Amino acid sequence: MKDLIPPFDFEQVMVAPWTTGLEGTIWIVLMGALVGIACGIIGNFLLLRRMALVGDAISHSILLGLILAFLIFRNAGTGVMFLGALLSGVATVAIIEFIHKQSRVKIDAAICIAFTTLFAIGVTLVSAAETAGPVHIDAECVLYGEIGFVIFEPPAKLGNVVLGPTSVVRMAIVTLLLLAAVILFYKELVITSFDGGLAKAMGMRTGLWHYGLMVALSLVVVSAFESVGAVLAVAMLIVPAMFGSQLSNRLPVRLVLTSLHAIVSAVLGYHLAIWLECSIAGAMVVVGSLLFVAAWFGTMAAARWHHSVSKAEQTGRQTPDSLPMTHS
Amino acid sequence: MKSSAGTETDIPLEVHDLSVAYHKKPVLYGIDVQIEPGNLVGIVGPNGAGKSTLIKAIMGLLPLTSGWVKVFGKSYKQNCSRVGYVPQRESVDWDFPVNVLDVVLMGRFGRLRLGQRPRAHDRHVAMECLEKVQMLPYARRQIGNLSGGQQQRVFLARALAQESDLYLMDEPFVGVDAATEAAIITLLRELKSRDKTVLVVHHDLSTAKEYFDQLLLLNMRLIAYGRAENVFTPEILQTTYGGRLNILSEVVQTLGGPRP
Amino acid sequence: MSSPFHPFTVRSHRWLLLALLVAVGSFSLPEPAAAARISDITETNIVDRAVRFFTMQDRSLRYALIGSLLLGVSCGLMGAFLVVRKLALMSDSLSHAVLPGVALGFLWTMTKNPFAIFIGATIAGLLGAGVVQAIRSTTKQKEDASLGFVLAAFYAVGICLMTMIQNLPGGSKSGLDKFMFGQVAALSQDDILLLGGVTLLAVLLIFIFYKEFLLTSFDPSFARSAGLPTQIFHYLLMLLLAFSIVASLQAVGVILVAAMLVIPAASAYLLTDRMGWMLMLSAIFGMCSGAVGAFFSFVGRNLPTGPLMVMAAAVVFVLALFFGPRHGIFARWWRHRSRSKRIQRENTLKAIYRILESEQFLDQSVSLTELAEHRRETIEEASHQLHDLKQCGLVTMTADRQSSVFTPAGWQRACEIVRNHRLWELYLTNAANYASDHVHEDAERIEHVLGEEMVRKLERRLQFAHRDPHGKLIPSQADIQSGGPTPRSSEAAVGYGAGPPEEPLR
């Protein structure tokens, strides 16, 4: 057991990455932060629509889309990837709704059935392909990715300018597009998430927005897939957004907090992974979870302190009648 | 059976042979009514009578199994900007991270294009509407920190911000304090004075006659529609609430087919 | 008829299961000979491998099969309760949450000791459930968010531990990687004992507490008001769930255990309306999927078992979804189609009646052209409908196939339909104050579904009126029994609008 945790060498864990290993560190941390920011922003809307576990479902079923696209087109280029992801994302949601509407199976079971089946088919295809010949995706990668591989990738170029590793550049583009879309369509996203009935009564096509969000989700997840894998993508969707929602009641503030959370988790997570010599993406999520727990306990403590302070004040004077009641 | 695209008229709402079924069981059956403009109309009936369903069906939120709806002479879709909506309070998540002003501004979204930001004028209208419901001091407060009456007033302000000619309200008086109730009545009367038409699903029979000019009595089908004093008779009330038409309900239920 | 709380029918199911368990358990008695490892099997031919599997000559193959049967039963039984309590996603969350427990269990003994792993995983699972509850009760986070958080956080910790273990000497041979997607071939005797124990426990507890589990699943508030300790049964179920998950981990894998819990149970849910049968079917489907998955895993050169079991279960689910006799999509479509055909037939009968009536029943036969004209359709369509009626014995055709005549059965049904239609029109106009343009369409729909009891009620309500709002005669019981149309004398016959209608009834 004592061999498990390597000794903590401050120089090696905290300093070296920023000096000798700088280039690798930059790309890895940047990738982690971008994944966290993109997933976190979409995750906020998933949480508001209570669709966190649909996000979980899509992150798993995307594997099938990827492997099918790869097998059909025989190449693993970006366009092919995106196509596979998009189709599997839409197919998953369509299947869930089909099962739910056409039978008495409830929505939670429908979600579970849809994504596990698609995922199972995907894993089997991957394993069969693995034994049959060399394949771009491997089974372990599916689960937790290997974010460290970004530094080995061929760089993406714009003309003669080397931008950086391909997947990082891709992720950056996806993140920027997502940010632009959220800013542009902010009010539509808010109203369809908050009061779908009113939105529909005003003539908005709520179904379209729903599927649009699913498409964006699929594209973000597929871009993150190789680095963090299926299940950790789910973590990135949920944990940063929960951090933001725990600390703020205002959506714009939540989005900013989510992004900060993603950046901090990426940096600290990388250090943790260097120290423990473990999965980098896993470490990033662990740090992120600890940040949420800190926020959780912090808000509980703050509430308790606030409560004891106001109780102390109340013993001095009468409570006015017109104080609004807190919604419980 | 669809009506052809009509011409704009003064009649705020016309409904013909409207039927709505939920999982094949009819909830509304053959509703036929024409609402006169400039009236406060209360929709009353027993629980499960289809009152909220009627409102939602008018707005196209539920599919019709028969019949059609015309709002000011045209289909709802064409004239949705002329209709303001106050849904039931439990239809939203009050933990949503928006404040009171954000919610009222949502009433203006129908007038904004895709991707267009709310303008200064929209903000101005929203503040005005908040003023009308006496909620202006709470403009920056998150909506979860409000009482039931205050939440209802925010919803009302949002509907007012839609600047419509026909207002549809779903049980706005449920669970609100006396002050809010009075405020809502005042607001309704003010709307009427500006020639607006308001349809309100009302849960409380004892106040229906007092609050509204006209009443619409519903129990899966239209029992009566007319001036409150004319329609509020023992016989009609018996028919609405007393289940005298249970042959109709029983038979119509079988249209849904045998239970699997 | 037994009430749902009387486990009489279930008892018989339970004895069956117990018997099965005993049979299965006897296979796992220790034998002196050395175990053969699956990797030692060198047959490359698929048929040979299949034969080898089913003849169960090798100990480890036997374990693989027994293990999959056992996990099928335990997952099936637990899954039935999960599905009706809508806890499918809770099981997904819990099954991911046990991963760090698996890693820690391994670290405790530095071997793949099933008992250590079982304890570690169970503790992790229960801790996860506790955290979900804590988040729900102390923050404003919603159910899906709390479940998602535990799933993600615990899983990440597990992944970190697993990758750290890989760095240890002997770590890469730990066999822990099999826990991801499952490998039934890796089951040892201890694993089988564990599975057997868990399954036995589940069967026993469900047997003893059947009605308590049933009531608390169906209506917890009523259960509480009746004095049942609802919380205790909930925690008991969660504990059993945790055990099932952990015991099945090695065979199915962390990610897909939830599928083995939910999919067979959902298939059973679609096929029956009684909880006892649902439990039974769920267990059976679980066993079949487990065995099929294990089989294909073996035949396919040790492909991971979990996905294969899930796909087998999914096939069963799809079959149940589409072809289930009562709720299946196909069955519903078929019922809808028969209903439409029946309505079509009845409309034709009605048309024939009306044509005959317009001639005061002087002529007994209706020609194809008359029918086609009346119904505004082509001769071919009319001919097709008459042919259909003939197949059902409701009309007979003349020799030249151009005209048709009612059989007694056809006449009876035609009278009934027309009577229903006209009674309903009368009811709507007189008693229900309907606008006149609705009345006819309405009656067109209602006439087909009016039952005899309802007709009697209507007749009483309308005081046995003779005529409908248009003045046409409503066929009476005498008409129906007469066996065929009889010409009406001119006083009694009332055609369209001829003669004043009777005083409308109040």
What integer is the mean pLDDT of A113-137?
A: 80
Neighbours of C436 (CB within 10 A): 11
pLDDT in tens, A223-249: 888 777 777 788 999 999 999 999 998
Q: Which residues contact A155 (CB under 8 A, 6 or more apart)?
A: A162, A163, A164, A165, A166
Contacts of B95 in chain C (CB under 8 A): 140
What integer is the mean pLDDT of A191-201?
A: 89
- Rounded Cα distance, C58 and C61, in Å: 5
pLDDT in tens, B120-135: 999 999 999 999 999 9
- pLDDT band for position A291 (50/70/90)? very high
Give me the pLDDT at residue C8, please: 41
Q: How far is B210 from chain A, CA to nearest CA, in Å? A: 28
* Contact B75/A at CB under 8 A: no
Kindly report the three-state secondary structure assignment for every residue of B89-137. Answer: HHHCCCCCCCEHHHHHHHCCHHHCCCCCCCCHHHHHHHHHHHHHCCCHH
Both structure tokens of A290? 């600890």
* Contact yes or no for A47 and C167 at CB 8 A: no
**Is-contact A221 A171, C-beta < 8 A?**
no
Intervals of chain C under pLDDT 50 = 1-10, 28-40, 490-506
**Is-contact B147 A327, C-beta < 8 A?**
yes
Give me the pLDDT at residue C49, please: 67
The full length of chain B comes to 260
Q: How far is B144 from chain C, CA to nearest CA, in Å? A: 11
Both structure tokens of B134? 């006496």
Give me the pLDDT at residue C387, please: 87
Give me the pLDDT at residue A142, please: 66
Bridge-based pairing state of the strands B214-219 and C365-367: unpaired
pLDDT in tens, B63-114: 898 899 999 999 988 888 899 999 888 888 887 878 899 889 888 888 887 7
Which of B17, B65, B221 to mutate to probe the C interface, most C CBs <10 Å? B17
Q: List beta partners, residue B25.
A: B22
Both structure tokens of B5? 């695209």
Q: How far is CA C89 from the centre of its chain?
A: 19
What integer is the mean pLDDT of A24-48?
A: 92
Neighbours of B238 (CB within 10 A): 12
Q: List beta partners, residue B215.
A: B42, B226
Both structure tokens of B175? 């669970």
* Contact B139/A at CB under 8 A: no
DSSP letter at A165 equals E
B233 pLDDT higher than 80: yes
* Contact A101/B at CB under 8 A: no
3-state percent helix, strand, coil for chain B, nearest multiple of 5: 40, 25, 35
Alpha-carbon Rg for chain C in angstroms? 34
Crossing angle of helices C275-299 and C8-27, rounded to 10°: 20
Of A26-30, A214-218, A263-267, least confident by mean pLDDT is: A26-30
3-class state of residue B71 by DSSP: strand
Crossing angle of helices A280-314 and A22-48, rounded to 10°: 50
Contacts of A200 in chain B (CB under 8 A): 59-61
pLDDT in tens, B117-173: 888 999 999 999 999 999 999 998 888 888 889 999 999 999 999 899 999 999 999
DSSP character string of C73-91: HHHHHHHHHHHHTT-HHHH
pLDDT in tens, B5-21: 577 888 999 999 899 98
Q: How far is CA C504 from the centre of its chain?
A: 50
**Is-contact A202 B82, C-beta < 8 A?**
no
Q: Which residue of A has its CA nearest to C131?
A: A293
- pLDDT band for position A272 (50/70/90)? very high
Give me the pLDDT at residue C182, please: 82
Q: Which residue of A has its CA nearest to C272?
A: A104
Q: Which residue of B has its CA nearest to A50?
A: B93
Q: Which residue of A has its CA nearest to C105?
A: A1
Give me the pLDDT at residue C52, please: 66
**Is-contact A277 C164, C-beta < 8 A?**
yes
Give me the pLDDT at residue A131, please: 66
Q: How far is B67 from chain A, CA to nearest CA, in Å? A: 19
* Contact yes or no for B145 and A194 at CB 8 A: no
Q: How far is C326 from chain B, CA to nearest CA, in Å? A: 7
Of A2, A85, A39, nearest to A281 by C-alpha is: A39
Sign of the Cα torsion A239, A243, A249, A250 reads: negative
Give me the pLDDT at residue B58, please: 93
> Which whole-number Å values give the CA distances from C221 to C218, C225, C228, in the listed order?
9, 6, 10
List chains adjacent to chain B, taking adjacency as at least 3 C-beta pairs closer than 8 Å.
Answer: A, C
Q: Which residue do the tokens 């005669």 mark? A: C473
A133 pLDDT higher than 70: no
C-alpha angle C121-C127-C130 in degrees, rounded to nearest 5: 145
Of A277-291, B80-94, B241-255, C115-129, least confident by mean pLDDT is: B241-255
- Rounded Cα distance, C39 and A213, in Å: 47
What integer is the mean pLDDT of A131-153?
A: 64
What integer is the mean pLDDT of A252-277?
A: 94
Give me the pLDDT at residue C453, please: 83
A188 pLDDT higher than 80: yes
Give me the pLDDT at residue B92, please: 82
Of B66, B58, B59, B89, nearest to B19 by C-alpha is: B66
3-class state of residue C400 by DSSP: coil
Give me the pLDDT at residue C243, please: 92
First to last CA, chain C: 45
3-class state of residue A323 by DSSP: coil
The CA-based dihedral angle spanning residues C64, C65, C71, C74, taken in that order and rounded to the nearest 10 degrees: -150
What integer is the mean pLDDT of A156-165?
A: 67
Q: How buried is residue A231: exposed, middle or buried, by Cβ count under 10 Å (0-12/13-18/19+)?
A: buried
Q: How far is C449 from chain B, CA to nearest CA, in Å? A: 7
Which of A46, A99, A108 to mutate to probe the C interface, most C CBs <10 Å? A108
Chain A 88-147, residues with CB within 8 Å of chain C CB atoms: 99, 102-106, 108-109, 111-113, 116-117, 119-121, 123-124, 127-128, 131, 139-140, 143-144
Neighbours of C235 (CB within 10 A): 13
Give me the pLDDT at residue B5, please: 57
B50 pLDDT higher than 70: yes
Which of C93, C137, C143, C144 to mutate to probe the A interface, most A CBs <10 Å? C144
Give me the pLDDT at residue B70, please: 94
* Contact yes or no for B248 and C435 at CB 8 A: no
Both structure tokens of A98? 């089909």
Of C334, C214, C335, C324, nearest to C270 by C-alpha is: C324
Q: Which residue of B has its CA nearest to C446?
A: B255
Q: Which residue do the tokens 């042979």 mark? A: B17
Both structure tokens of B34? 């024409």
Give me the pLDDT at residue B250, please: 73
Give me the pLDDT at residue B99, please: 85
The full length of chain A comes to 328
Contacts of B151 in chain A (CB under 8 A): 327
Q: Which residue do the tokens 């009845």 mark? A: C346
Contacts of C432 in chain B (CB under 8 A): 221, 245, 248
Q: Higher pLDDT residue, A14 or B162?
A: B162
Among the partner residues C89, C152, C317, nearest to A111 by beta-carbon distance: C89
Of A28-42, B176-190, C10-24, least confident by mean pLDDT is: C10-24
List chains adjacent to chain A, taking adjacency as at least 3 C-beta pairs closer than 8 Å.
Answer: B, C
CB pairs under 8 A between A and C: 204
- Rounded Cα distance, C191 and C97, in Å: 20
- Rounded Cα distance, A306 and B174, in Å: 33
| ipTM confidence | 0.88
Bridge-based pairing state of the strands B197-201 and B166-170: parallel
Q: Higher pLDDT residue, A328 or B248?
A: B248
Q: How far is A248 from chain B, CA to nearest CA, in Å? A: 8
- Rounded Cα distance, B189 and B211, in Å: 9
* Contact C38/B at CB under 8 A: no
* Contact B102/A at CB under 8 A: yes
Q: Which residue do the tokens 């294990």 mark? A: C294
Q: Which residue of B has its CA nearest to C451?
A: B251
* Contact A214/C at CB under 8 A: no
pTM of the model: 0.81
Among the partner residues C86, C168, C327, nearest to A103 by beta-carbon distance: C327
A309 pLDDT higher than 80: yes
Question: What element of type H or E holds A60?
Answer: helix A52-73
Q: Which residue do the tokens 């209506």 mark? A: C219
Give me the pLDDT at residue B89, please: 86
- Rounded Cα distance, B187 and B180, in Å: 10
Of B47, B89, B44, B40, nearest to B204 by C-alpha is: B44
Q: How far is CA C4 from the centre of its chain?
A: 18
Amino acid letter at C141? Q
Give me the pLDDT at residue C77, please: 94
* Contact B5/A at CB under 8 A: no
**Is-contact A198 B106, C-beta < 8 A?**
yes
The CA-based dihedral angle spanning residues A129, A134, A140, A141, taken in that order and rounded to the nearest 10 degrees: -110
Q: Which residue of B has its CA nearest to C270?
A: B260
Give me the pLDDT at residue A98, please: 94
**Is-contact B59 B83, C-beta < 8 A?**
yes
Give me the pLDDT at residue C494, please: 34
B48 pLDDT higher than 70: yes
Alpha-carbon Rg for chain B in angstroms? 19
Contacts of A188 in chain B (CB under 8 A): 109, 114-115
Q: Which residue do the tokens 């343009």 mark? A: C437
Among the partner residues C438, C450, C458, nearest to B30 by beta-carbon distance: C438
- Rounded Cα distance, C113 and C119, in Å: 10
Which of C139, C146, C339, C434 to mutate to probe the B interface, most B CBs <10 Å? C434
Q: How far is B254 from chain C, CA to nearest CA, in Å? A: 7
Contacts of C457 in chain B (CB under 8 A): 247
Both structure tokens of C117? 């792993």
Backbone angles phi, psi at C367, to 5 degrees: -90, 165
A319 pLDDT higher than 70: no
